[in-house]
Amino acid sequence: MDRIKVGIVGGTGYTGVELLRLLARHPHAQLVAITSRKEAGMPVADMFPSLRGHTDVRFTTPDAAPLADCDVVFFATPHGVAMQQARDLLAADVRVIDLAADFRLRDTATFAHWYGMPHACPDLLAQAAYGLPELNRDAIRAARLVANPGCYPTTIQIGFAPLLRAGGLVDTGHLIAACASGVSGAGRKAELGLLFAEASDNFKAYGVTGHRHGPEIDQELRRIAGLADDDTTLRCLFTPHLAPMIRGMHSTLYARLTAAGQQADLQALYETAYRGETFVDVLPAGSAPDTRSVRGANVLRVAVHKPAPDTAMILVVQDNLTKGAAGQAVQNMNLLFDLPETAGLEIPALLP
């Protein structure tokens, strides 16, 4: 088949360079445009020496970039950018994958509350497929607009999905997610709390009074459980933490088991749920995954525990920049163009 012509809006941040790294080795993709107003004219490899010899593309201004000639455009931009440009691209028969939050939340009032801006194209929300392939593959294949999930929501949904889909195994009003991410999750920016002397040798919670991934998590867990969007019987108490590492994410999830759940074989439940899923690795019983086992790889590793008769504990790790962002976006692109889902993503983790 002809190579897929790819454009990237943004691309100077950590998610952008991760996307470039993966696309540079993709057998069916050709990067034809990447935008940056500030860096227009600069070779991508000058900003990211890790890509020397892998791409000769230069940054261009958004106005000069041939985005309408692309087959797919990724938005590796701050929230609010994709929704300003998506309509024109879709009209030009370009497929759009947004790595920000513009099309994740179905309720526009919720979006405005958490992201501080009105939604620019609410009519497109019904067209957007939520891009978590392991849970929403058919909808993604049929879509032209994909909302790439948040990094924390990815681990939480994969972790809770088998319990919720089984029905009747857990009390959905008492789900807990204690999650930690490396500092790259905050983006490539100068900020006091992200300085080496502040983040290194330190561990702290943040967003404890509410985090904007919270509504996304609840919305999608309701969908997984077969509940209506306005059903308040499901609630996930989510607390993010900043870990003193560059990349990686660890989520510890708890659910209160019902009488039926206490009798269930949870290990078998998870192994069956993710059998055949290349990018979800259910570890043997008793395991405890670590973040370095997924560094640079598009994979989640999951361990299932039952620390008390009425409690399920699920441990999930991923690379927040790969499966948590750019790798998942490439996985979605593969689905959109009927490619093997693993194309360009069969990369083992980096160790040490």
Q: Which residues are catalytic?
A: 151
Nearest to 337 by CA among 136, 97, 154, 119: 97
What single letter denotes the amino acid at residue 263?
Answer: Q
Half-sphere exposure of 235 (CA within 13 A, CB side): 6
Question: How far from the centroid of its chain's Cα atoms is residue 181's Cα?
Answer: 13
SS3 category, 19: helix
8 Å CB contact between 337 and 322: no
Q: Residue 273 contacts by C-beta under 8 Å, 6 or more apart in sequence?
A: 161, 162, 165
Q: Report the alpha-carbon distance of residue 132 to residue 162 in Å, rounded.
A: 14
> Is the Cα torsion angle 114, 115, 117, 121 positive or negative in sign?
negative
Six-digit token string for 305: 């525990």
Half-sphere exposure of 116 (CA within 13 A, CB side): 3
8 Å CB contact between 54 and 24: yes
Q: Which residues of 97-113 are buried (b: 16+ CB within 10 A; e: fewer)?
A: bbbbbbbbbbeeebbee
Backbone phi and psi for residue 328, each to the nearest 5 degrees, phi listed first: -65, -35
Could you please report the per-residue DSSP string of 181-216? E-GGGG-SS--GGGSHHHHTT--EE--TT--THHHH
